[in-house]
C-alpha cells in the first residue's frame, strides 16, 4: 500500500472581493470619523439621545407588560397584580426618562464631574502627605480638577476622550487605505 500526499490547491484571491472589502473599510472609517467628531463637539446631545432611547424602550416594555396583563385577565379570568404594577412602573419611568432626559444628562455630568474633583482632592492629599513623587501627585490632582470642572460645566469628558480616540483611529485607517492605493 502506497502513501500518497494530498497537496492543497493554492488559494486564489478574488480581486473583486478584496476591492469590495477595502471600500467597505473606508466607508466604515468615514462613519467612525463623523461619530468621533460628533462625540467631541456635542457629547451632551448624545447622552440626551441615549436617555430618550432608553426611556422609549422602558415605555414599550411597560406597554407590552400591560397587554400581557390584559390577556392574562381575559383568558384566565384572573388578575395578576405583579404584571399590572410592572406595567405602570415601566410606563411611568419610561415617560419620565424621556421628558426629563436633559435634566438627567446634567445630573450624570455633575456626578461624573464630582467624582473627578473628589479624585483630584485625594491626589492633593497624597501630595501633602507623600515624601516621594510629590510632583506626580500635584500634576495628577490639577489635571483631574480641571477635567472635573470641565465635565460639570461644559461636556462629559469621557465621551470627548472616546471621540478623540475614534477620530485618531479613523484618520489612521483612512491614511492606510490611501497608502495602499
Kindly provide the residue ranges of all beta strands, DSSP E only, lying in the chain, ordered along the sequence.
none
Return the closest-CA partner of residue 127 out of 112, 115, 137, 139: 137
pTM above 0.75, yes or no: no
Tell me the mean pLDDT in the region 162-177.
87
pLDDT tens per residue across span 113-149: 898 899 999 888 888 887 777 888 888 889 989 988 9
Has residue 89 got a pLDDT over 90? yes
* Backbone phi, psi, residue 131, to 5°: -105, -20
Amino acid at each position: 500500500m502506497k502513501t500518497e500526499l494530498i497537496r492543497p490547491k493554492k488559494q486564489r484571491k478574488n480581486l473583486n472581493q478584496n476591492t469590495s472589502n477595502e471600500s467597505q473599510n473606508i466607508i466604515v472609517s468615514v462613519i467612525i470619523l463623523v461619530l468621533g467628531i460628533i462625540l467631541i463637539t456635542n457629547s451632551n446631545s448624545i447622552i440626551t439621545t441615549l436617555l430618550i432611547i432608553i426611556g422609549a424602550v422602558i415605555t414599550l416594555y411597560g406597554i407590552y407588560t400591560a397587554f400581557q396583563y390584559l390577556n392574562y385577565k381575559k383568558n384566565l379570568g384572573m388578575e395578576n397584580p405583579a404584571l399590572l404594577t410592572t406595567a405602570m412602573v415601566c410606563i411611568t419611568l419610561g415617560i419620565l426618562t424621556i421628558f426629563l432626559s436633559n435634566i438627567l444628562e446634567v445630573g450624570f455630568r455633575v456626578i461624573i464631574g464630582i467624582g473627578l474633583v473628589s479624585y483630584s482632592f485625594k491626589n492633593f492629599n497624597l501630595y501633602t502627605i507623600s515624601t516621594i513623587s510629590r510632583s506626580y501627585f500635584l500634576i495628577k490632582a490639577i489635571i483631574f480638577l480641571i477635567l472635573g470642572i470641565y465635565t460639570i460645566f461644559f461636556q462629559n469628558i469621557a465621551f470627548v476622550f472616546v471621540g478623540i480616540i475614534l477620530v485618531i483611529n479613523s484618520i489612521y485607517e483612512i491614511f492606510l487605505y490611501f497608502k495602499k492605493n
